[in-house]
Structure 1
Amino acid sequence: MEFRTERLLLRSARADDLKGLHAILSDPRAMAYWSSPPHQKLDQTRDWLASMIAIQPSEGEDFIVEFEGQLIGKAGLWRFPEIGFIFHPEHWGRGFAREALAPVLDRAFSVHGLPKVDADVDPRNGSSLKLLGRLGFHETGRKERTWLIADQWCDSIYLELDAGGWRQRRP
């Protein structure tokens, strides 16, 4: 499956995405607030990619994001109803995440009929919190010490967007 936005191609993951995805998942900047440390070995990314490819349509929908033919990130609902996105730092600050998430959210509510979409964000990740806020997500709770990543405990801010909120805020 694939679809286009003004500048991006969102498509299903393929085995040949391994090197491009590893460039993101091995980058400490990109992984600073992710739920695992940066990938040290290509096999870690291979396993991650295999699980992305194997996702059942009833469980989630995750997309590779391309800009000008280059893999720059991933965006989607790896497991309904939780949204997730990660982009290579070279492409931060250009509006790609917002552009990619809009059709993902459209599909979540119109195609999959989800009543809401959730997000779990590290409180230190101000950019993601700001982006999700602009998309209409609101905070539903906070919890300390939710993720143990490389011997460091991280906290969570929980966010939610319902279908009505999305229709009102749709970019």
Structure 2
Amino acid sequence: MIKEMSSPRTLFPTNLPVLFSERCCLTPIESAHQQPLFALHKHNVVNDFLPYETWLDASQASEFVQQVQQYHESKAAIHLAVIHQKFDQLIGRLVVFNLDDKHRSVEIGYAFHPDFWGEGLAKESCCRLIDYLLKERGVHRINAIVDTENVASIALLRRCGFVHEGTMRECRQKQRRWIDSAIFGLLSNDFNNGST
């Protein structure tokens, strides 16, 4: 069956979004977030499944924020800080990348401070972002790729309505061994049918 596609428009927003969920505010990463970003990424457990090493110096946060600003200016990715509204504290970050206007698809990633694991904040934040992407930006498909060993991330994606679609075997190296990656996808139809 062939579905009619919506009229084309760019997935990258004219203005970067500020989104609110019950407990969190998702806001574009800026220079004021450097110190809390360092506090996030100095933890080995946060970086275990990310494509870079644990941060050892605050200057790495400064370099990261500069890269984020370049991504925003070039419309290559959207980086959002997750701020806990009650504590006015950065507790994580979300990224939307691989924006494909033609096929209406994006990929998402995330990282959260271990002090806030297990409270449902990651699901709340990710679902708010998903809602924005599908309903306000007209995204048809959201992709997420995670290490098969990252059990917590896989559980989060499933709770957000993602479907496991396959596994890329030994697609990257980590500490001198090959790692498999699981491919997850969420379609706008899945979301509209109440899977999130």
Q: Aligned equivalents of 2:59 and 2:193: distance in 1? A: 42
CA distance in structure 1 between the aligned counterparts of 2:58 and 2:39, rounded to whole angstroms: 10
Structure-2 residue corresponding to 1:27:
43
Structure 1 contact 141–158 (Cα < 8 Å) conserved: yes
Tell me if the contact between 1:120 and 1:158 (Cα under 8 Å) persists in the aligned partners.
yes
Q: 1:43 to 1:152 in 2, by over 3 A?
A: farther
| Matching residue of 2:160 | 135
- Shift of the 33–158 alpha-carbon distance from structure 1 to 2, 3 Å rule, reads same
Count of aligned pairs: 171
Counterpart of 1:92 in structure 2 is: 117
Deviation at 1:42, TM superposition (A): 2.5
1:59 aligns with 2:76: yes
1:44 CA drift (Å): 2.6
Alignment of 1:30-109 (within 5 A): 30-56=46-72, 58-67=75-84, 68-80=87-99, 81-109=106-134
SS at 2:56 equivalent: coil
Counterpart CA distance in 2 for 1:127 and 1:169 is 22
Q: Which has the larger radius of gyration?
A: 2
Judged with a 3 Å threshold, the aligned counterparts in structure 2 of structure 1 residues 170 and 11 are, in CA distance, closer, same or farther, namely farther
Q: CA deviation at 1:170?
A: 5.1
Structure 2 unmatched ranges of 5 or more = 1-16, 100-105
Give unpaired runs (5+ residues) of structure 1.
none
User: Percent same amino acid at aligned positions?
Assistant: 23
CA RMSD of aligned residues (A): 1.8
Q: One-letter code of the match for 2:114?
A: P
Shift of 1:86: 0.4
Q: Write the deviation string for residues 77-120 of structure 1: whole angstroms up to 9, x where unpaired.
A: 13331111100100000001111011211121122222100001
Aligned equivalent of 1:9: 25
Q: Is the contact between residue 138 and residue 161 of structure 1 (CA under 8 Å) also seen in structure 2?
A: yes
